[in-house]
Chain A
Amino acid sequence: GEDVEQSLFLSVREGDSSVINCTYTDSSSTYLYWYKQEPGAGLQLLTYIFSNMDMKQDQRLTVLLNKKDKHLSLRIADTQTGDSAIYFCAERSSGNTGKLIFGQGTTLQVKP
């Protein structure tokens, strides 16, 4: 079945780069997403990548996709304290509903 896995916690110092990793199982996924959730809030779409792309960069965010290994990563350059949040990786189901399957979320802690 469809499954998305993430590491649960990452701690970095302000100014460093953060790399959050994700693995998925559905090889027919069309889109993969990264969402950010701050405490008590909904999810904010950070970026997405289409399955035929290897890399996508958007300002401080870089997404790398290794389709062979079903591995997705999100790199945040020059991490700031405001980046502290939970980051969810999600794949778009290949089924007709197009529902999103989420990973467990990675809590990013940025230390000053």
Chain B
Amino acid sequence: GAVVSQHPSRVICKSGTSVKIECRSLDFQATTMFWYRQFPKQSLMLMATSNEGSKATYEQGVEKDKFLINHASLTLSTLTVTSAHPEDSSFYICSAARTGASYGYTFGSGTRLTVV
């Protein structure tokens, strides 16, 4: 149990376009999901906390108009990178918190975004 599906796994887009990444909890309900960004050989940087039915909470330095987060249901959160630029190229990972679980959060398999 506790599977999180993230799509797409890899995407290449042109500068100026927008890209949507989906994060789904397949067999449990997730009131809270987290979006991370990971640079090569570096740790995960938390971008925002996504709460079902309310606005996301962004970490300091993360542009909310650039990285749009929608958590419309208990099983789906989306991250849209708007007007993407090459510096947005990165590995994006989501995780979902299972309600009442103490054993940590389940992570998606990540999305490799390349902006050309």
Query: A interface vs B, CB < 8 Å?
Result: 31, 33, 35, 40-45, 48, 50, 88, 90, 92, 97-105
Contacts and interface: CB of A to CB of B under 8 A. Distances in A.
B102 A102 contact: no
B42 interface: yes
B89 to A, nearest CB: 14
A98 B103 contact: no
B109 interface: yes
Contacts of B108: 42
A64 B105 CA distance: 21
Contacts of A100: 34, 46, 95, 104-105
A45 B49 contact: no
Contacts of A92: 104
A98 to B, nearest CB: 7
Given A42-B6, A43-B95, A100-B95, 14 more contacts: A35-B104, A42-B107, A42-B108, A43-B107, A45-B104, A88-B43, A98-B97, A99-B46, A100-B34, A100-B46, A102-B43, A104-B42, A105-B42, A105-B43
Interface string B72-116: 000000000000000000000101010000111111111010000
Q: Is the interface of B mostly helix, strand, loop or mixed?
A: strand
A96 B79 CA distance: 22
15 contacts: A31-B102, A40-B112, A42-B93, A42-B110, A43-B93, A43-B107, A45-B104, A45-B107, A98-B32, A98-B97, A99-B49, A100-B46, A100-B105, A102-B43, A103-B43
Contacts of B103: 31, 45, 48
Contact of B110 (A35, A40, A98, A104): A40
Interface centre among B97, B102, B104, B109 (most CB of A within 10 A): B104
Interface residues of B toward A: which range?
20 to 34
Interface string B47-82: 001000000010000000000000000000000000
Contact of B57 (A40, A50, A97): A97
A24 to B, nearest CB: 13
